[in-house]
Structure 1
Amino acid sequence: MNRRQAGTAYRERIAALLAELGLPASLFADRPLRLIAEARRLTPVGLGTDGRDKLLTPGAARAWRSLRAAAAGDGVELLLISGFRSVDYQAALIRAKLARGLSAEEVLRINAPPGYSEHHSGRAVDIGCTGTAALDEAFETTPAYDWLRRHAAEHGFRMSYPRGNRQGYLYEPWHWFHVGSTAANKPAM
């Protein structure tokens, strides 16, 4: 299968998954979301706060280790909550929220639709710190967040979802994306 065929097959897979979940593209058509391919080369970066080994692309893994070491050098502990997330795992997260009674609109303010999560790229990390609940807006009041705000760009990371972000997600001060090279920032398909 050539690259074009692979891209078409991926888009078809995502469309079928969105239909199965009852998430018509019209729910997020007015948001500037881009289809993101799943990373193919991943490397372990250590245990996350859930006790499971987390994965990132090799470049993002090096950048994460550098970021964490620099923070530690300044007396700031950064905890890895989440890294690579497959399309299937993303779909499972959404299924669970829909099963709990959340509407599709509510779910899509919290989670990206399968195929559109930065976590698929293997270059996104959710970061936490001791003493603050994971994935909580209160993270913005911590020394860890303050350190990230001042130093993350030096390691190639940017916060993806600030307040009022164009993508329409809730504010996520814990979600940081390894930008990498210009070529790496082009849409996957």
Structure 2
Amino acid sequence: MANADADSARIRAVLSALGIPPDLPARRGLPLCRQARRLTPVGLGADGRDKLLSPAAARAWLKLRERASADGVQLTLISAFRSIDFQAALIRSKLERGMALAEVLRINAPPGYSEHHSGRAVDIGTDKIPALDEAFESTDAFRWLSQHAGRFGFRLSYPRGNAVGFAYEPWHWYYTGHR
């Protein structure tokens, strides 16, 4: 319980430092996403950096990617685990470039509320379009994921008109472990 209280206090402090209203997550129905404590490398991402996932999500991702490849579909890992500090730096960078806080929070979860913290979320791309582009929905990769990802325990987190108010992200998939 002490760790949970310390985590909550830290998240409140980070939100405050970024100017994010403390009631915003509750108003939008955003669940708190605890930062993963155990992570497993799953290979290099499109940026050439090692990507990490929780052990169960890592096993599922590797199986999913292998099956897609066997079916002739190339999946590129764009993003996986992100720490609370990384999420805060990402938001801070966008604010410093002049983006309005409301717009930033349409495309990035507040620190403490990103599925990436759990080590169970992946952003997936393909070499046919730029990373994190809505055009991903028109690719063979997205069609394959829509048909098969559930068998590997993954679901699309932010479809059009999602209840939590994030922009549509056809590239963002979350490992639930349920098949």
Q: Place the TM-score, normalised by the shorter chain, in its bin.
A: over 0.9
Question: Does 1:36 find its partner at 2:61?
Answer: no
Inter-partner Cα distance in structure 2 for 1:52 and 1:44? 10
Structure 1 counterpart of 2:98: 101
Identity of aligned residues (%): 63
Residue 38 of structure 1, CA deviation: 0.5
Structure 2 counterpart of 1:170: 167
Superposed CA deviations along residues 98-144 of structure 1, whole A, max 9, x for unmatched, are: 00111111110010000000000000000000111100000000000
Between the two proteins, the alignment pairs up a number of residues equal to 179
Question: Does 1:12 find its partner at 2:9?
Answer: yes
Q: Secondary structure at the match of 2:177?
A: coil
Q: Is the 8 A contact 2:25 2:31 kept in 1?
A: no
Structure 2 counterpart of 1:130: 127
Inter-partner Cα distance in structure 1 for 2:26 and 2:106? 13
Structure 2 counterpart of 1:185: none
Inter-partner Cα distance in structure 1 for 2:26 and 2:165? 11
Residue 24 of structure 1, CA deviation: 1.0
Structure 1 counterpart of 2:149: 152
Inter-partner Cα distance in structure 1 for 2:178 and 2:73? 27
Q: Secondary structure at the match of 2:172?
A: strand
Structure 2 unaligned regions, length at least 5? none
RMSD between superposed Cα atoms in Å: 1.1
Inter-partner Cα distance in structure 2 for 1:100 and 1:29? 27
Structure 2 counterpart of 1:47: 44
Q: Is the 8 A contact 2:158 2:167 kept in 1?
A: yes
Structure 1 unaligned regions, length at least 5? 183-189
For normalisation by structure 1, the TM-score amounts to 0.92
